[in-house]
Structure 1
Amino acid sequence: MNLTSIGNSARTRREQEAAVAALRFTCDVLWSLLDAVDHGHAAERP
């Protein structure tokens, strides 16, 4: 699934808002994961 297919499948305003909310949630999860990895490696840095 990519942004184009999401944009094409979300026809109504409500569907578009739901798609944006899902994308924001996914980004938040990925940033949290990246922060956790960075924090884990911070202890190993000199």
Structure 2
Amino acid sequence: KITEAGDTAKEELAELKKQFDALDKRSKLILRLVLVLSGLDLFLAI
């Protein structure tokens, strides 16, 4: 059951990445701003 949950999580992450890539630049900028303000910006943390 644990591996099934892991596979499901991977599929969901892949779907989220696909949706994020489909956003236009303005939407990405807004989303990144929200992440920065909430302290969850993973892009700048790397």
* TM-score in terms of structure 2 length: 0.53
The structure where helix makes up a greater share of residues is 2
User: For the pair shown, which has the larger CA radius of gyration, 1 or 2?
Assistant: 1
Q: Which structure 2 residue ranges, 5 or more long, are not aligned?
A: 27-46
State the shift of 1:45 in Å. 1.1
Give percent identity, aligned residues only: 8
Relative CO higher for 1 or 2, CA cutoff 8 Å, sep ≥ 6?
Answer: 1
- Structure 1 vs Structure 2 CA RMSD: 0.8
Following TM superposition, where does structure 1 have runs of at least 4 consecutive aligned residues deviating by more than 4 angstroms?
none
After superposition, the C-alpha distances for 1:4-37 in whole angstroms (9 at most, x for unaligned) are xxxxxxxxxxxxxxx0000000000000000000
Report how many residues are paired.
Answer: 26
* TM-score in terms of structure 1 length: 0.53
Say whether residues 1:45 and 2:25 are aligned partners.
yes
Q: Which amino acid aligns with 2:17?
A: D
Q: Which residue, 5, 20, 26 being the options, matches 2:2?
A: 20
